[in-house]
Amino acid sequence: METFNEFDMQGTAPQRNFSDIISHAFNNFVKIIGWSILVTLILIIVTMVASSLLGPLVGYNALEAQAEMEDLMKDGGFTDPGGMFRIFDVPGYKESMALSYLLGLLLYPIYAGYVYAMHKANTGQSVAFGDFFIGFRQNTLQYMIFGLIMGLAMMIGLMLCVIPMFFIIPFFFLGIPYILFENATALEAIKKSFATASSNYGTILGVSFISLIITVAGVIFCGIGILATAPFFYAAMYSVYCAFNGVPKQIVPQPE
């Protein structure tokens, strides 16, 4: 296995403040924006194709579901008298969502690739297409476990009127870098991320919130803008890690 197990001040690390971290993230982000757009586009296409193939397996038809939802809206809105979302009554919807969530977990290691690419950009190394798949070469299961735990936490935040989700994110913000650079398990990464966020909550909250806003802005700009803006979230993630932990040393081979 390969691991980032030491630190070396090659590359640059931002100061531990909001403006310096965002500036550092943007500088790394623009260096690999072409690669990021390509990988994000491929990820979206794979997700869309897989979802369209998996839906019929559980009896879910997107066009029929849209028509049924329009009928439900005419009959009284998105929720029933008990407060449950009526979309869950659409045939195959719950099963389709479960399969989509599982697909998301299987693809979750790809996000480690964005962080790794930011690291290579920061340390002046050439970025290659294969770098984005480092998460599938090491600690793959740990990324999936982390994604599952974080996803459940985000789901709880969404159920609590959405706003709490934004305050939860900082505690998970450094999970991927800790798994990638320190070879941590999912639980170790969460513990380390919680500890860092607890001591620097205001700064990490501000960075994660702005990163989400930038991503949402990409959706607003005709949707296609997300190809360019989505990877910024991981650039910010890497910069926050560098600010509070130093720049990771070059990856080195470890015996199996």
Going by C-alpha positions, the residue among 154, 69, 54 that lies closest to residue 100 is 54
Amino acid 61: pLDDT: 63
Residue 127 Cα to chain centre, angstroms:
20
- Per-residue CA distances from 138 to 98, 123, 200, 251, 252 (Å): 26, 21, 29, 12, 13
Amino acid 7: pLDDT: 47
Amino acid 78: pLDDT: 53
SS3 144: helix
In angstroms, rounded to a whole number, what is the distance separating the alpha carbons of residues 233 and 45?
A: 20
The token pair at 153 is 């936490």
Amino acid 255: pLDDT: 40
Instruction: Report whether 8 contacts 247 (CB < 8 A).
Output: yes
Domain boundaries, position 70: 2-253
Instruction: Report whether 239 contacts 24 (CB < 8 A).
Output: yes
Amino acid 47: pLDDT: 87
pLDDT tens for the chain, 256 residues: list them: 455 544 444 789 999 999 999 999 999 999 999 999 999 999 989 988 887 787 677 666 666 666 666 666 666 555 554 444 556 666 666 777 778 889 899 999 999 999 999 999 999 999 999 999 999 999 999 999 999 999 999 888 877 877 888 999 999 999 999 999 999 999 999 999 999 999 999 999 999 999 989 888 877 765 667 788 889 999 999 999 999 999 997 655 444 3
User: How many domains, in total, are found in the chain?
Assistant: 1
Evaluated on CA atoms 246, 247, 252, 255, the torsion sign reads positive
- Which residue type sits at 20? D
Instruction: Report whether 108 contacts 46 (CB < 8 A).
Output: no
